[in-house]
């Protein structure tokens, strides 16, 4: 009799978080069978099977779950943006409900770990920092609101139907390949061009806001630890626990670039009322549950963001 390898389905596997998780799982003890799903038609490295699927299409999702019968699902698929709120809700909330319904029907014993977002919290009063999982959620963007709805759906399906659903709320993840729709990724994209050019000007938004940056390698380690020790119905902040001023992050990235760079504020990059001034979280609940701690220094994360191979 052979030992059963855990079958783990990762949605959004072609994205920043998903690619790093697939790569991480290739090296863990008792390596699971990694099943990847994404809208993209390109399979990420490290997966054993890949499915190009629209996760907001209930019939397609149910077919996928019936076919692969995963033991665990890590739901990372989603969409940023404010230009099309309906598409954001479909990608972030409807896709999770489609997965939960498919699991109810086809794999009711599967463990589900779904990614919410620190954007669910919105504006935070300074006296309520650091953010804990008990902090009231007041999202200020369609993205944050859609993630809040998805978290409510996850808790509802656990409470009402008994599904094993755990929620992680990542704060700002950084590392090679981070999306340019977030400031660290936009900085990295421009600086990589300036490295090739030998220097120049970088255009930025508000540099006074403060964020909680967590290295993506630490994030995937925490994710797998929660897969190994789920907490059905639980919500966990995934964060470093410390604030960093955006301008300080940019200074560190410019220093790591090794080329002369001038900084210019671009009015088009300012977010107005949607820009939360200061937010950072507490990972005490996650640490107490499974012993996880962030380990990667910010300077190392900056170097990886700029220079590590994809």
Residue 3 vs residues 31, 32, 197: alpha-carbon distances, Å: 12, 11, 53
Residues in the chain: 310
| 271 strand-pairing partners | none
What pLDDT score does 1 carry? 41
Instruction: Kindly report, residue by residue over 180-232, the tens digit of the pLDDT.
Output: 888 899 999 999 999 999 999 999 988 998 999 999 999 999 999 999 999 99
The C-alpha atoms of residue 96 and residue 74 are separated, in whole angstroms, by 11
> Domains plus CATH for the chain?
7-173+214-241+280-295 (3.40.50.720)
On whether the CB atoms of residues 196 and 258 are closer than 8 A, the answer is: no
Consecutive 10-residue averages of pLDDT for the chain (310 residues): 79 95 94 94 89 93 97 94 85 96 97 97 90 95 95 98 98 93 91 95 91 97 97 98 96 95 81 69 98 96 84
Instruction: Identify whether 205 is preceded by a cis peptide bond (ω within 30 of 0).
Output: no
């Amino acid at each position: 009799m052979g030992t059963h390898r855990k079958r783990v389905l990762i949605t959004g596997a072609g994205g920043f978080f998903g690619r790093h998780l697939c790569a991480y799982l290739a090296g863990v003890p008792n390596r699971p069978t990694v099943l990847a799903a994404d809208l993209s038609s390109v399979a990420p490295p490290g997966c054993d099977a890949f499915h190009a699927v629209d996760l907001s299409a209930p019939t397609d999702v149910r077919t996928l779950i019936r076919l692969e019968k995963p033991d665990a699902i890590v739901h990372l698929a989603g969409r940023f943006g404010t230009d099309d709120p309906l598409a954001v809700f479909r990608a972030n909330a409807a896709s999770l409900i489609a997965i939960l319904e498919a699991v109810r029907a086809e794999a009711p014993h599967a463990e589900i770990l779904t990614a919410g977002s620190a954007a669910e919290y919105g504006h935070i009063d300074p006296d309520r920092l650091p953010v804990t999982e008990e902090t009231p959620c007041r999202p200020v963007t369609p993205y944050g609101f859609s993630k809040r709805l998805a978290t409510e759906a996850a808790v509802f399906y656990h409470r009402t139907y008994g599904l094993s659903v755990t929620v992680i709320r990542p704060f700002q993840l950084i590392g090679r390949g981070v999306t340019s729709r977030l400031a660290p990724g936009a900085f990295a994209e421009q600086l990589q061009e300036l490295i090739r050019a030998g220097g120049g000007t970088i255009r930025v938004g508000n540099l006074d806001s403060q964020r909680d940056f967590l290295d993506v390698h630490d994030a995937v380690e925490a994710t797998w630890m929660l897969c190994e020790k789920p907490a059905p119905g639980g919500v966990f902040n995934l964060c470093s626990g410390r604030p960093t001023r955006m301008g300080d992050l940019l200074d560190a990235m410019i220093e790591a670039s090794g080329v002369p760079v001038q900084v210019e504020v671009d009015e088009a990059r300012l977010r107005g009322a949607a820009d939360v001034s200061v937010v950072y979280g507490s990972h005490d609940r996650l640490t107490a549950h499974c012993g996880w701690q962030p380990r990667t220094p910010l300077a190392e994360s900056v170097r990886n963001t700029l220079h590590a191979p994809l």
